[in-house]
């Protein structure tokens, strides 16, 4: 599936990721936290959500599970080379196993994914 409309969750988009998104002409909407991401996903259709950081109120696991419930068709990509996701009792890799629409990628993996779509 080609990723054209992407919801980025995090207060800052790292420069390498900005370049990747720009290269593929993705339409990007950015939100600061997991709660806002869930609200946006309830009202708009996105091809994917890139999880950089999820804020203070909701940890990574809660954000992934809630986004999956709201939009099962949306691909959830947890960026593993970012260290500022709220701590979660569940590892990023286990989340990807538990939620079929979730995957863990580095920015470089994501760039390869876009080039292949």
| pLDDT tens sequence across 73-95 | 899 998 876 544 445 556 777 76
Per domain, the residue ranges of the chain are: 5-116
| Structural class in CATH, domain 5-116 | alpha beta
Whether the model clears a pTM of 0.85, i.e. scores above it, the answer is no
Rounded CA-CA distance 12/6 in Å is 15
Residues 6+ positions from 73 with CB-CB distance below 8 Å: 101
What is the spatial order of strands in the sheet that 5-9 belongs to? Answer: 27-31, 5-9, 48-51, 75-79, 102-105
| pLDDT tens sequence across 27-83 | 999 999 999 999 999 999 999 999 988 878 888 888 999 999 998 789 999 887 654
């Amino acid at each position: 599936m080609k990723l054209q409309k992407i919801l980025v969750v995090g207060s800052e988009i790292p420069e390498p990721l900005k370049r990747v998104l720009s290269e593929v002409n993705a339409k990007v909407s950015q939100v600061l936290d997991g709660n806002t991401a869930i609200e946006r996903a309830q009202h708009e259709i996105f091809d994917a959500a890139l999880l950089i950081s999820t804020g203070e109120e909701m940890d990574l696991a809660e954000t992934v599970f809630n986004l999956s419930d709201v939009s099962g068709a949306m691909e959830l990509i947890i960026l593993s080379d970012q260290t500022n996701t709220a701590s979660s009792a569940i590892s990023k890799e286990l989340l990807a196993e538990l939620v079929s629409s979730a995957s863990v990628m580095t920015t470089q993996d994501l760039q390869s994914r876009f080039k292949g779509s």
